[in-house]
Amino acid sequence: MLGTIRYYDRVVETMGGLSNVQSFFKFYLVPGGGHMSPQGTSNPDANPPAVAAGQFYQLLVDWVEKGIAPDRIEIRSPKATPAMITQPICPYPQKATYVSGDPTLAASFTCS
């Protein structure tokens, strides 16, 4: 992951700044997202927010074909039990910051 972050930072530096890059290249870090486990943990009862099947694909199609660039993306727990959690993921270098309200709801966070 650190190599990917360094690569993105180098692209930003080479291209003259973040605003020049994010028109064609955005990078999102998914908290707890693992390469082997679909939910980032070996606990089979865990229910963390995760990217839904096809979610990024549709965002890319909308960006390329309709000019609608992805910004803040909301992910959700795959199951409603034990609790449904929604969480935003923000384009790097922004991060989700809790503002107020229910910490299990994406609406309680801002990208900054």
The percent helix, strand, coil of the chain (3-state, each to 5) is 30, 15, 55
Question: Phi-psi category of 37—alpha, beta or left, where left has phi over 0 and alpha has psi -120 to 50?
Answer: beta
Q: Please give the helix or strand (H or E) that residue 55 lies within, else none.
A: helix 55-66
Q: Average pLDDT of the chain?
A: 87
pLDDT digits (tens, 9 = 90+) for 73-87: 999 887 777 778 899
d(CA 75, CA 85): 8
Split at pLDDT 50, 70, 90, the class of 33 is: low
The domains of the chain are located at 2-31+44-111
d(CA 93, CA 12): 11
CB 75 within 8 A of CB 49: yes
* Amino acid code (one letter) for 47: N
At residue 36, does pLDDT exceed 60? no
d(CA 112, CA 104): 18
d(CA 67, CA 70): 9
Split at pLDDT 50, 70, 90, the class of 51 is: confident
At residue 18, does pLDDT exceed 70? yes
The least confident of 3-12, 18-27, 45-54 is 45-54
pTM of the model: 0.80
